[in-house]
Amino acid sequence: GCTSVDKQTTFDFVVAANRLPVDAVEREDGEVEWRRSPGGLVTAMDSVMRGRDGAWVGWAGTPGEAPAPFESEGMWLHPVPVSAEEIEHYYEGFSNDTLWPIYHDVIVPARFRRTWWHAYRRVNERFAEAVCEVAAKGATVWVHDYQLQLVPELVRERRPDVRIGWFNHIPFPPVELFAQLPWRAPLLRGLLGADYLGFQRTADAQNFVRACRSYLGATTKGDRVTLPAEDGQPTRTVRASAVPISIDVASLTELARSESVQQRAQEIRASLGDPKTLLLGVDRLDYTKGIRHRLKAYEELFEDGALSCPDVTLVQVATPSRERVDAYKRLRTQIETTVGRINGTYSTVGATAVHYLHQSYDRAEMAALYLAADVMLVTPLRDGMNLVAKEYVACRHDLGGALVLSEFTGAYHELSQAFICNPHDIEGLKQTIMRAITGDERTKRRMMSALRKRVTHNDVTRWANHFLANLEASPEKPA
Ligand code: GDG
């Protein structure tokens, strides 16, 4: 239920993220309806916005003119217009072809284009203006992610009365990699407009602090960065620390306990021919996720005769992502070639080695897949957190299953009791997958139980409250 209101309203709590938490869906009668998108961030903000007077600033998902601001399920949604060309330059270009590779260890080379940077700055300015329009005096503003790194400074320039926090969902790179960015100094200054900066891991926060020292001549002490005074401006101190994100554990556990999901999990196994071992991968189709390394290890295990059909099968969900960016097109071709080769060589009539699904599914189907899988493969080369690992654990109320987890994820720092792997080490990865398959059931249940304690302890509401508490306690009080 959404209503469009034309009166000008301001809010004490403002979220800014690249996307609004809704998707436009065309109804049968041709009318457009806004439906809440299922993401974890939306759920997290739901619990924070409840009881507060909250607005959300973001792109509505279609290029060109933005719809008028409207209310949706207790949230004021303020769309920011982004043109088709800006999508190409600000989003696909600078955000996903410049920043994304630099922030993920340059797994693919980053591309630098001055026109992309200009579009990034322009769109960040538009977001900042929208934030200032809806923020009440003294409001708290929470900016999200790498697409909006200039927003903190741009908001502060216009509105010294508001308190500004920023959370990075992806890693923050080591200084040596960050150094490549021709725009490293303005990006750091953009972020330092905030009062508090949250990162997934302590190492990410430390990388940021080091970069400020190297490229802005800032003084740093522990997790605090102090900027030298500049033409009459007073010095400011900004804190940068780790606040690892999580998931809505209770609602996912409840879903996984439901009769229909448990039944669906059985059905999935049956339709796969009731294999002895079902392995599962769930990722956006992204080169950071280590899907190729995973497939390589899996293929070699067939080659070695350690695995075979029909005993074993792998379901790989690879959700379509950033399909217009070249690196993603290339990756898709590589993955599809590899899957074709594995199936051509090792499948039998009636038993398939890899079920590759380039599709997205609803939450219930995902929960059923998690419940059905004996081994969950989470093998990124670099990942800010990786929520899939936490979701798998949250669904395994039966203490069944085993999690293979890369040490290059943020999740590793909480879930080190999983079957840990270095995905670059194919030999080691193969051994870890085999241990997860053949491991003693009692040991595996103990491991899962330990993992569940960690995930249950730090759920998404706790994450949001932790971030906001740090923001409220940030060293500088707003003017
Ligand atoms: C970024 C950072 C960080 C995937 N396919 C489907 C589907 N999903 C859901 C998963 C999970 C989410 O999407 C993916 O989250 P991840 O954390 O695994 O990865 P990114 O998309 O790269 O997210 C990451 C995260 O931000 C949060 O800070 O953890 O490191 O890169 O929730 O379940 N959901 C549904 N259908 C699908 O087909 N419903």
Residue pLDDT, tens place only, 418-435 = 999 999 999 999 999 999
Mean pLDDT value of segment 194-212: 98
- Angle at 82 (CA atoms; ends 87, 188), nearest 5 degrees: 75
- The CA 393 to ligand 1 mean position distance, Å, reads 15
Ligand 1 mutation target, pool 287, 386, 460, most atoms within 8 A of CB:
386
Number of Cβ atoms within 10 Å of the Cβ of 65: 10
Q: What is the pTM of this model?
A: 0.95
pLDDT > 70 in the chain, percent: 97
Closest C-alpha to ligand 1, atom 28: 169
Please give the pLDDT value at position 476.
66
Please give the pLDDT value at position 8.
59
Query: Taking 90 as the threshold, does the pLDDT of residue 250 lie above it?
Result: yes
Q: Is the CB of 405 under 6 A from ligand 1?
A: no
Mean pLDDT value of segment 189-210: 98
Please give the pLDDT value at position 391.
97
- The CA 239 to ligand 1 mean position distance, Å, reads 27
Q: Is the CB of 387 under 6 A from ligand 1?
A: yes
Q: In the structure, what pLDDT confidence band is assigned to residue 65 with cuts at 50, 70 and 90?
A: very high
Please give the pLDDT value at position 477.
58
pLDDT > 90 in the chain, percent: 87
For residues 29 and 378, which has the higher predicted lDDT (pLDDT)? 378
Give how far Cα 279 sits from Cα of 162, 291, 309, 336, 362, Å: 49, 13, 12, 18, 20
Q: In the structure, what pLDDT confidence band is assigned to residue 6 with cuts at 50, 70 and 90?
A: very low
- The CA 82 to ligand 1 mean position distance, Å, reads 24
Query: Taking 80 as the threshold, does the pLDDT of residue 267 lie above it?
Result: yes
- The CA 435 to ligand 1 mean position distance, Å, reads 26
- The CA 247 to ligand 1 mean position distance, Å, reads 10
Query: Taking 70 as the threshold, does the pLDDT of residue 3 lie above it?
Result: no
Q: Is the CB of 258 under 6 A from ligand 1?
A: no
Atom of ligand 1 nearest to the CA of 200: 28
Q: Is the ipTM of this complex over 0.95?
A: yes
Q: Is the CB of 38 under 6 A from ligand 1?
A: yes
Residue pLDDT, tens place only, 298-343 = 999 999 999 999 999 999 999 999 999 999 999 999 999 999 999 9
Q: How far apart are the first and last CA of the chain?
A: 38
Residue pLDDT, tens place only, 117-135 = 999 999 999 999 999 999 9
In contact, 128 and 154? CB cutoff 8 Å: yes
